[in-house]
Structure 1
């Protein structure tokens, strides 16, 4: 049998596309690959159907349709009724969400073909929500072409990121401070919108500012995983998550809040509001893009703001931590970053512990000092130096004060 060698592979996360020349050894006896024993194979018959130029023309038509709001032109590109409806929905979404910088650019074939005239290619998509995103997001997704590239059969698969606005028709609610959109009913979007606007009010009462936020609501947990390009089930037990829209982590990367409706919608209104405020804190303070801030501060501060004005007994807001301390004693150290893994079986305890660290700081130095400390550390300042300057504490002092507070919660 022929043995392949010198295979060039280009991979991006969980997808791969072959590039370069595959050199094939014609072996008579199954010998190992050798530089003087291969010949170039004839062109792949499957790749003869690819017309990248025609596909690029179709993508240019889709791009113009999105810019002009021409649903008809987009629908005409659909290989069938379902594809036509999706392409029309995408253009409608672009218009309703106020998208700019919308581009669809042909990148390369994946090697997958369909029938006599269809193939799959990676397509780079860019977009920006005017008034909310400072820079454009960019992602590459598989697009399935048909009819020699003159039509589009489908967008995306389980191997790559699929933005919510490209997945289905979305509804939206817009205010000066927030844009909430997703695959949800008007009633559901109204609830999300109300909670997000309240979250913004609560946050401004603590840290000030006039930042605005975008919230995306995928259809279900699987759609959330695809929107964030994570393994299936990663956020199955998480109500919401704040993340860069395209996975990039540059200073101007668009960061949105993503709701997991399967979990969020099942929460009581008070708990849902806490989650909403917590995530909006992350979004408007740039916490997601901070490179060196410890997670006990990032997550603890978000809970500090979210729980600050709630009149609830500590047995409810820190119940899991109280139970853990009764069972295992007071923790030896502040929560480590590794403990905030979404797959952790004791995530609730860790978040409550982090919240209590920030409460301890507030009791020591006051809320203004906490806010200044948070902003400084997110900006890259040294934690130890900031603790001394703003609170007169070393990390050992903070740990001791926190342990004393935690021990007295029960």
Structure 2
């Protein structure tokens, strides 16, 4: 290395001699490379934000944005307010890495590893990588935005929420109508709890529901492509989209769909989802007809409505296409399926048929064994049924329905 340094020095001197001039050589420092992310300073800003979240300090959080960036200041303040109102615990935040290129103005987006739990409801924290926007502001790095992009965006992360809770249920909602939404949905949850408990008395109710402002907000909360759940009224899933068996479970509501339902219909949707909560359905591997049919069986059990209402889509499907040769499966329950409502109704009628043959407790036993990992065939055999017998009786029920 010493030889290399000497060689470079001789080259420079030679250049000065060959120039024939006595001017001093000065390097042109005005030409700078492309801007780079200031990851160290950004990591410090993330830790400052974590402190504000832990303290529930909206003013301290807002100070992490540039003075003139009202949108970012509001986002940060809202996140800290939500953390306090939700009583978030087990909070952690760690700068991971830049996502994409640094913009010409020096701003950039980075992934941040975030954990959070709701005190009194979550036994284990949710864990997810979220996106945070950063920018330079004089001699410091500021936070320019929370969420968005192609990562999960928790509902509490950067938008003001309305929150209501009881000992057994918590509902959070976003949007201009959030205050009314939390009242409405908390009331529906409280009505649904005894509906589920009458069939599943061993359940110890603990429900957290999230109501985004729109269907697009639902997709963001679930980290799926926009439009994925546009026709779905609600879905029960892990809070962080991780698929971890110990991740907290949430009921996510699509307000654009449930808002069009009449009172009884909306109530059935919530009762259906609470069955999924009670049976830890997001972590179970069960045939779709049994998973969804059982939830509707419980939700509709005490609803006094005629079959031409509760099975209208199934009837229309049979009249149009005939009696299916098998119970509805994964394809029929795809969120983009042409006649998803008919699949739910047909699955419900299959569970009604099982209960008609072996009683409600027999149906519950079949479901519980299946949720514990038994095959559907083995679960049905425990009550003296075979899949072929169930299908044949179900098909006969559909023929009567369509006649």
Bigger CA radius of gyration: 2
By how many angstroms is 1:156 displaced?
2.1
Corresponding position of 2:389: 397
Q: 2:360 aligns with which of 364, 367, 375?
A: 367
- State the TM-score, normalizing by the size of structure 2: 0.87
Q: 2:33 aligns with which of 27, 45, 49?
A: 45
Counterpart Cα distance in 1 of 2:302 and 2:158: 38
Corresponding position of 1:305: 298
SS at match of 1:366: helix
Deviations 1:110-148 (A, max 9, x none): 232234442221111111111111211111122111126
Corresponding position of 2:49: 62
Counterpart Cα distance in 2 of 1:167 and 1:379: 38
Maintained 8 Å contact 2:161/2:178? no
Q: 2:59 aligns with which of 46, 52, 72?
A: 72
Unmatched segments (≥5 aa) in structure 2:
1-31
Counterpart Cα distance in 2 of 1:179 and 1:338: 33
> 2:108 matched to 1:119?
yes
Deviations 1:338-376 (A, max 9, x none): 210011111111100000110011011111111121111
Corresponding position of 2:375: 382
Deviations 1:357-404 (A, max 9, x none): 1001101111111112111111101221121121x1111111111111
Unmatched segments (≥5 aa) in structure 1:
1-43
Q: 2:258 aligns with which of 248, 261, 264?
A: 264
Maintained 8 Å contact 1:300/1:355? yes
Counterpart Cα distance in 2 of 1:124 and 1:340: 33
Deviations 1:168-206 (A, max 9, x none): 100111011110001143222111110011111100011
SS at match of 1:408: helix
Counterpart Cα distance in 2 of 1:220 and 1:108: 30
> 2:120 matched to 1:128?
no
Corresponding position of 1:160: 151
Counterpart Cα distance in 2 of 1:185 and 1:65: 24
SS at match of 1:203: helix
Maintained 8 Å contact 1:49/1:116? no
Corresponding position of 2:181: 188
Alignment of 1:89-238 (within 5 A): 89-147=78-136, 150-183=141-174, 184-208=177-201, 209-238=203-232
Corresponding position of 2:348: 355
Maintained 8 Å contact 2:99/2:111? yes
Corresponding position of 1:30: none
Deviations 1:11-58 (A, max 9, x none): xxxxxxxxxxxxxxxxxxxxxxxxxxxxxxxxx933x53221211111
SS at match of 1:106: strand
SS at match of 2:273: helix
Q: 2:324 aligns with which of 310, 317, 331?
A: 331
Aligned residues: 364
Over 4 Å off, 4+ runs = none
- State the TM-score, normalizing by the size of structure 1: 0.86
